[in-house]
Chains A and B, each alone.
Chain A
Amino acid sequence: KQEVTQIPAALSVPEGENLVLNCSFTDSAIYNLQWFRQDPGKGLTSLLLIQSSQREQTSGRLNASLDKSSGRSTLYIAASQPGDSATYLCASGGNQFYFGTGTSLTVIP
C-alpha cells in the first residue's frame, strides 16, 4: 500500500514569505500527484494536478513539482498571504488517492 508523508505537520510564517511544503511517497509507480487545500469544516479543493509524465505545474503563486524517482513532491507558495492559511494535503494515485496527513499552514498578518 502506498504511504504518503507530509512534512512539516504545521508551519507558521509571516505574511509575504515564500514557503515550501514537502510530500513523500513510497511507491514511485504513481499515476498522478495532486495537491489539495482544506479549510476548517470544509471539503477539499484541488490546487494542482501533476500527471506522472510531468515534472511540475504552476497556478498563480503556487508551483508544484514531482520527482518520481525520489518519491517526492513539493508545493511552493510565493508571497504568502493570510488567506493562504489552511491545511494542505498531497495525494498520490489514480482511481484511488492515498493522502498524506497534511501540513497546517498559518500565515501571520
Chain B
Amino acid sequence: GAGVSQSPRYKVAKRGQDVALRCDPISGHVSLFWYQQALGQGPEFLTYFQNEAQLDKSGLPSDRFFAERPEGSVSTLKIQRTQQEDSAVYLCASSGETQYFGPGTRLLVL
C-alpha cells in the first residue's frame, strides 16, 4: 500500500479486557513510532522502533502497555487490563525523512 495502515479503526473494550492494535508501515521504512492522542490534545509519544529493535519506550504510560515489531515491519501495540483512561486515538507513524501517519485506532474503554 501507499501509506501507513492501522487496524482496527475502532475498538470498544470492556474495562479489564486486553486489546491489540496493529500498524502496517510504509514498505521499507526503518523507523516506526506509536503515539497516543487524547481528545482535544496533540499526540503524545509512546515508543519508537528502528527495524525490530525498540530503541525508546519512555512514553509508555504503564507496564500494561507493550509494543513489538518482531520482523522489523508490522508492529503491534498491546494494552493489557484496559482502563477507562486508556481511551484515546492510537496513532502509528513510519518515517524516512518525515513521519507519515496512519489514520489511527480509536479505542473506547467502557
Contacts and interface: CB of A to CB of B under 8 A. Distances in A.
B99 A98 contact: no
Contact of B99 (A34, A41, A101, A102): A34
Contacts, number: 52
A89 interface: yes
A46 B98 contact: yes
Q: How would you classify the secondary structure of chain A's contact residues: helix, strand, loop or mixed?
A: strand
B100 A101 contact: no
A51 B42 CA distance: 21
A95 B48 CA distance: 8
Nearest to B97: A49
Using C-beta atoms within 8 Å of the partner chain, give the interface range for chain B.
20 to 34
A99 B98 contact: no
Using C-beta atoms within 8 Å of the partner chain, give the interface range for chain A.
20 to 34
A73 to B, nearest CB: 14
B42 A101 contact: yes
Contacts of A76: none
Interface stretch (B13-21, B68-76, B80-88, B101-109): B101-109
A89 to B, nearest CB: 6
23 contacts: A36-B101, A41-B103, A42-B103, A43-B91, A43-B104, A44-B91, A44-B93, A44-B101, A45-B101, A49-B98, A89-B43, A95-B31, A95-B48, A95-B55, A96-B45, A96-B48, A96-B59, A97-B99, A99-B35, A100-B42, A101-B40, A101-B42, A102-B42
Interface of B: 4, 31, 33, 35, 40-45, 48, 55-56, 59, 91, 93, 97-104, 106
Interface of A: 4, 34, 36, 41-46, 49, 89, 91, 95-102
